[in-house]
Amino acid sequence: MARTKGFEPERALDRAMELFWSRGYEATSLRELLEEMGIGQGSFYGTFGDKHALFLATLDRYREAAEAGAVATLEDGSPKEAIRAVFGGMVDVLAGQEEPRRGCFLANSAVEIAPHDAEVGERISRYLQSLEDAFERTVRRGQATGEIDTRRDPRTLARSLVNNSLGLRVLARTGTDRRTLEDAADAALWPLG
């Protein structure tokens, strides 16, 4: 008879993500992961493989939640207001973090690990492409209704929105005050017309 796990893998994965998010990949030791996840080495290796595989799984988990939230917001109601809501939600989350702010897990990982880890870089690139595609669909919808300037290329506007969202996440990590984050988010929308 197969043994059942003595822990909840999803919960352990969430705890690992929180630790990676707070400390970064390189600064997080296996011992700290095991302690935070509340599991032993055998369970760790049997369920998650190794530290790198676990890290990739945490990136995927974060991406799925972030992507689902942004896409759902972008597909609802007025295109311009939907884009504004995505940026407003970002400011709320980022400004609401305790000091020191953690910023965005994907943005942090892009800076720390992606330059020397192709798998991490590929995962983050896929997320950014998906976000760009969602912004582009929303921009096109807004151009069709006359809410968004039709003289602008929708793909270029979408790329600008992704770039500004990443900049906002990095800015928040530095401890920038909420008002400045709101100003930056508002400025990101100017090219929409």
pLDDT tens-place string over residues 118-140:
999 999 999 999 999 999 999 99
CB of 90 within 8 A of CB of 84? no
pLDDT tens-place string over residues 159-185:
999 999 999 999 998 889 999 999 999
Q: Looking at residues 26-32, what average pLDDT do you find?
A: 95
Confidence band of 101 (pLDDT split at 50, 70, 90): confident
Instruction: Tell me what pLDDT residue 5 has.
Output: 58
For the chain, what is the largest distance between any 2 Cα atoms, rounded to a whole number of angstroms? 66
Separation between Cα atoms, residue 90 and residue 178, nearest integer Å:
11
- Burial 127-142, CB ≥16 within 10 A → b, else e: bbebbbebbbbbbbbb
Separation between Cα atoms, residue 54 and residue 119, nearest integer Å:
12
Higher-confidence position of 159 and 193: 159
pLDDT tens-place string over residues 52-82:
999 999 999 999 888 888 889 999 889 999 9
DSSP summary character for residue 176: -
Instruction: Tell me what pLDDT residue 2 has.
Output: 46
**Can you give the residue ranges of every domain in the chain?**
58-192
Separation between Cα atoms, residue 32 and residue 81, nearest integer Å:
43
Give the pair of three-digit tokens for residue 8.
């909840």
Mean per-residue pLDDT over the chain, rounded: 92
| For residue 25, pLDDT beyond 70 | yes
Domain 58-192 sits in CATH at 1.10.357.10
